[in-house]
Amino acid sequence: MLGLGSFPEVSLAMARERRHDARKLIAAGTDPSQQRKAEKAAAAMATANTFGALAAEHLARLEENGTAATTMAKNRWMLERLAGALSRRPITEITPAEVLDVLRKVEKSGRRETARKMRGTIGSVFRFAIQTLRAQNDPTFALRGALLRPQVKHLPAITDERELGALMVCIDEFDGWPTIRAALRLIALTMTRPGELRLMRRSEIIWPKAMWRIPAERMKMRRPHDVPLSQQALAVLRDIWALSENDGLVLPSIRCATKPLSENAMNSALRRMGYTSEQMCSHGFRSSASTILNERGHNPQVIEAVLAHQDENQIRRAYNRATYWPDRVKLMQAWADMLDEFRCLSVTDRHVA
């Protein structure tokens, strides 16, 4: 027995057509009743397995695997905000055209790099669905090459030695919050990225070895990185050490000791000193150091190791990390001494003027 629907919603002609379809299934050895239950179950599963639901599961798994907080925030922003139009769609019904429409809207707003990264982030949700047997294909695969190339914009950096010396003097004379001044000095001395520096904790400073050990989750390449600390860098740390306690942040926010300096704190300080966004930014100190050290003939491989531009080959990476450590220690001290030298050049120029 099989119900074919109620009259008048189902006409006699429709009932006959459904009876005909049911007989076909029986002839093929399929129970029409079981087939209908399977179709209802599949429909219910499709409704439950929306892109938004799977994106939430994927994000939760990333968090459990220890993904950095900044990366989690970016992924949430892209999947929940920028790709919000897909959230209620069953994952198995989303087409490449739908995904491309979402990506093109971001691209047309001028954020080409974000659109490119979004394709990969959305694709990671589909791959998660495939791994958990809730989808069979990834529509983002067909979209490779469909977006415009990002417009490369190099971060501003001062690479003239005298001009860099003048900047260091301005930092020394900066009358703002002590941790901001210290942060600018340290980012110049350590050649690290702003995000790595802002979240520095007291337990990461190994005083007997004059070393700062940055944990893997805060590094761009997700590998721990040891930074040799010059005498000048150690002096800066000693000056601000009393502003924190226990395993607190070494560079706390102006408003709250448990929060780090904001992402824009150092750049805002540079603007107050008179440096525009086209002249210098906090990330630019890495380029300044790299350019000047290479121009002065220092070993490029040691410079790359200091900048944490690590070799993708695991054996060479381990070898370089051990081999270049003494050279990195010497290079970091030499760079700190150069910055003092640049300061003197700037002061001399100021007196002559």
Per the residue annotation, which of 112, 117, 202, 283 is the catalytic one? 283
Nearest to 22 by CA among 34, 11, 40, 13: 34
- CA 180/CA 31 separation, integer angstroms: 74
Q: Measured between alpha carbons, how far is 182 from 177 in angstroms, rounded to an integer?
A: 9
Burial of 118 (0-12, 13-18, 19+ CB in 10 A): buried
> For this structure, is 283 an active site residue?
yes
Of 37, 108, 309, 350, which is the active-site residue?
309
Clarify whether 111 is annotated catalytic. Answer: no
Instruction: Verify whether residue 220 is a known catalytic residue.
Output: yes
Note if 319 is an active site residue. yes
Closest by CA to 116, choosing from 96, 134, 140, 92, is 140
Q: Say if CB 64 and CB 135 are below 8 A apart.
A: no
The two three-digit tokens of residue 45, written as one number = 């599963």
Half-sphere exposure of 215 (CA within 13 A, CB side): 11
Give the SS3 label for residue 226: strand
Assess whether 316 carries a catalytic annotation: no
Task: List the structure tokens of 262.
Answer: 């904001």
Q: Of the residues 220, 271, 317, 321, which is catalytic?
A: 220
Of 193, 201, 218, 328, which one is the catalytic site residue? 193
Which residue blocks in 9-149 are alpha helix, DSSP H? Answer: 12-27, 32-48, 51-64, 69-76, 96-108, 112-131
Catalytic residue list = 193, 220, 283, 286, 309, 319
